[in-house]
Amino acid sequence: MYKIPEIRALDLREAQTRFIQLMNRLSLGKKDRIIAVFDGKRGNQTRIGKLDVYFSGSGENADSVIKRMSEGYTRHEIIIVSSDRELLSYARLGGQEVMSAEDFIQRFLIENEQDSESERIKSLEKNPTDYWLKVFQQKGGLNA
């Protein structure tokens, strides 16, 4: 999570909240699912938007929860994303597809942001009045 540039300076709660917001903005297929596992004393699970969020609970860390949850999945069913090399090695040996956190950020977050920016520019070029009306309405600046 702290590999994402805009999250680096945030405290833990703010970082988790921002991470969840970013994950919920990803474009996924209807059957795709994102699960985030955090270290934490709570040991519970909740759904926030499109994201299933788990906290490891006391006495266990997020990596061990991810290992347990990923058992039985094949490389075409799951992608394990982490910056922890030991976890990625474990998953790779278990036959799961793995991706470093840095690669995930580049592929899904940075490129997704660039695509969104490109779409905004195209929309602005097509019909500037509609574009700015939409922006102001989203910001609450105009009463629609």
Q: In which domain, by residue range, is 33 found?
A: 5-101
Residue 104: pLDDT over 70:
yes
Cβ atoms within 10 Å of 54's Cβ, excluding its own: 19
d(CA 128, CA 121): 10
Is the pLDDT assigned to residue 66 strictly greater than 90? yes
The confidence band for 7, taking pLDDT boundaries of 50, 70 and 90, is confident
Q: CB under 8 Å to 53, separation ≥6 — which residues? A: 20, 35, 36, 38, 45, 46, 47
pLDDT tens for 20-48 read: 888 888 766 667 888 999 988 777 899 98
Number of independent structural domains in the chain: 1
Residues 19, 4 contacting (CB under 8 angstroms): yes
Asked if the structure places residue 123 within a domain, the reply is no
122 in any annotated domain:
no
pLDDT (0 to 100) of residue 144: 45
Q: Decide if 88 contacts 100 (C-beta within 8 A).
A: yes
Report, as an integer, the average pLDDT of 72-89: 90
Residue 124 lies inside a defined structural domain of this protein: no
